[in-house]
Amino acid sequence: MSFEFDGKVCIVTGGTLGIGHAVAERLLQQGASVVISSRDAAKGDEVVSSLTKAQSLPYSRLSFFRADICNPAEVRSLFAYTLERHGKCDIVVANAGFMASKSFTEELDEGTDDWMNVIQGNVIGTLLLAKLAIANWHKHKIPGVVVLSSSLSGVYPNQIPHHCVAYPVAKAALCQFVPTIAMTLDRLAKRQGLSTSPIRVTALLPGFVWTAMWNKMGRGAASDTAPSDLENRSNSAWSVLAKAVGWTPMSKIVDAYITAVTDPTTSGKCYMVMGTAGPMVPYPDPRITPTYEKALEAMVGVSGGGGSAVKGRGKARRGKGKL
């Protein structure tokens, strides 16, 4: 039996948990060889062992490489390891990402600099990996695909405490990278007589997906399904937003990643993937802006402080018909 990704080699950063784990699992099911990475080697070995057994895979198909996305030398080693092990890399799912461990106001009070780390990992390390792959494909004139994990926070302002200020900024940077690099690659391709570049880059902007990321914020157990009593937790700021936008099932998220890898028309574009209904939505989408802004206003009101300022800003922006 042959599968869509037979013979393809993929890197999935943050492949030990949540979205990355689910995407890696699907790529393996569809025939790919996968290198997953994260910082936790013990967890990595555990995931390799469990996925290999569950899918009765030869050990050559899945491996773990320990790399902190914040550390450029380790990101370079991850890419070099993949080339050495498999002789090539066809697909990069640059998914590892994290929120701040402190809110920005805590940082101001304590004089710490956690938010620079958020930029370092979510932007610099992530785009370094993308660049290493693109450079390799460009040099050898071969096709390749990068899919970046951005976020709804990359488009809409957010007040979830541990998003800090840097998280939405970081995710927004990925959204701007995608059309810019795609245009650049297309221009290079035209010089070589091609109509479009064989190198593709897409960003996905998940809405709320119940993963360990939320658990790290100290709220709820890690699971791929949001707790059933979530809607009752109206005193938590983030649940107001999540309720408005809707939790996104993992299967929908994974389908979107597979579409981004396989569908050339997604190149150079960013897609929001949120809620239970509907397909991937190219952003910005005017349909969700009023719902989101209303929820954001309610959220800031609930969490206390700054409500009127944001309300005013929201009205002003709506008045101008913009985000």
Site residues (CB under 6 A) for ligand NAP?
13-14, 16-20, 38-40, 43, 68-70, 95-98, 121, 149, 151, 206, 208-209, 211-213
Helices (H), 87-220: 104-110, 114-119, 126-140, 166-191, 212-216
For ligand NAP, the closer of residues 197 and 260 by Cβ is: 260
Minimum CB separation of residue 213 from ligand NAP in Å reads 4
Minimum CB separation of residue 19 from ligand NAP in Å reads 4
For ligand NAP, the closer of residues 63 and 95 by Cβ is: 95
Q: What gap in Å lies between CA 297 and CA 292, rounded to an integer?
A: 9
- CA of residue 120 relative to chain centroid, distance: 15
Largest Cα span, the chain: 60
Minimum CB separation of residue 299 from ligand NAP in Å reads 15
Q: Residue 198: is the preceding peptide bond cis (ω within 30°)?
A: no
Minimum CB separation of residue 191 from ligand NAP in Å reads 34
For ligand NAP, the closer of residues 14 and 157 by Cβ is: 14
Minimum CB separation of residue 164 from ligand NAP in Å reads 12
For ligand NAP, the closer of residues 100 and 134 by Cβ is: 100
For ligand NAP, the closer of residues 154 and 314 by Cβ is: 154
Nearest to 205 by CA among 283, 127, 272, 158: 272
For ligand NAP, the closer of residues 18 and 268 by Cβ is: 18
Minimum CB separation of residue 155 from ligand NAP in Å reads 11
Q: What gap in Å lies between CA 320 and CA 91, rounded to an integer?
A: 41
Amino acid symbol at 188: L
User: CA-based Rg of the chain, rounded to a whole angstrom?
Assistant: 20
Q: What gap in Å lies between CA 151 and CA 47, rounded to an integer?
A: 25
User: Which run of H or E residues covers position 54?
Assistant: helix 41-54
